Amino acid sequence: MKAVLIEAHGGLEALKIVDRPRPTAGPGRVVVDLKAAALNHLDVWVRKGVPGHKFPLPIIPGCDGAGVVREVGAGVTGVEVGQRVLLAPGMSCGFCMRCAEGRDHLCRTYGILGETRDGTCAECVEVPARNVIPISDHLSFHQAAAFPLAYLTAWGMIVDRCGVKPGDDVLVWAAGSGVSVASIQILRLIGARVIAVASTQSKVSAALALGASLGICASTQDVNAEVRAATGKAGVDFVVDHVGEATFGTSLRLLKKGGAVVTCGATSGPKLEADLRLIFFKSLSILGSTMGSLGALHRLTSLVGARALVPVVDRVIPLHQVADGHAALEARGTFGKVVLEIGA
Band (337; pLDDT cuts 50, 70, 90): very high
Which pLDDT band, with edges at 50, 70 and 90, does 12 fall under?
very high
What mean pLDDT do residues 190-206 have?
A: 95
Q: Over pLDDT 90: what percentage of the chain?
A: 87
Query: pTM for the whole thing?
Result: 0.93
Please check the confidence at residue 302 and state whether its pLDDT lies above 80: yes
Mean pLDDT for the stretch of residues 121-125: 97
Looking at residue 48, its pLDDT comes to 96
> What residue type is assigned to position 145 of the chain?
A
* 51 against 59, higher pLDDT: 59
Residue 117 CB neighbour total at 10 angstroms: 15
The pLDDT, as a whole number, for residue 160 is 95
Q: What is the pLDDT of residue 344?
A: 60
User: Hey, is 112 helix, strand or coil?
Assistant: strand
Cα distance between residue 56 and residue 64, in whole Å: 18
Q: With a cut of 80, say whether residue 343 has pLDDT above it.
A: no
Please check whether residue 161 is in contact with residue 135, taking contact to mean a CB–CB distance below 8 angstroms.
Answer: no
SS3 184: helix
- Distance of alpha carbon 97 from its chain centroid, rounded? 25
Q: What is the mean pLDDT of residues 37-53?
A: 94
3-state secondary structure (DSSP) of residue 136: coil
Q: Name 131's Cβ contacts closer than 8 Å, sequence gap at least 6.
A: 30, 87, 88, 90, 91, 294
Burial of 82 (0-12, 13-18, 19+ CB in 10 A): exposed
Closest CA to 268 of 199, 201, 335: 199
Q: What is the pLDDT of residues 60-116, one digit of tens each?
A: 999 999 999 999 999 999 999 999 999 999 999 999 999 999 999 999 999 999 999
CA distances from 27 to 88, 99, 300 (A): 18, 20, 28
Nearest to 105 by CA among 242, 291, 300: 291
pLDDT tens string 132-183? 999 999 999 999 999 999 999 999 999 999 999 999 999 999 998 889 999 9
Q: Helix (H, G, I), strand (E, B), or coil: what is residue 59?
A: strand
pLDDT at 269: 77
Average pLDDT, the chain: 94
Domains of the chain, earliest start first: 2-147+311-341 (3.90.180.10), 151-288 (3.90.180.10)
Long-range contact set of residues 303-307: C-beta below 8 Å, sequence gap at least 24? 303/189, 304/139, 304/143, 304/144, 304/147, 304/151, 305/135, 305/136, 305/138, 305/139
pLDDT digits (tens, 9 = 90+) for 219-275: 999 999 999 999 999 999 999 999 887 888 899 999 999 999 999 988 777 888 778
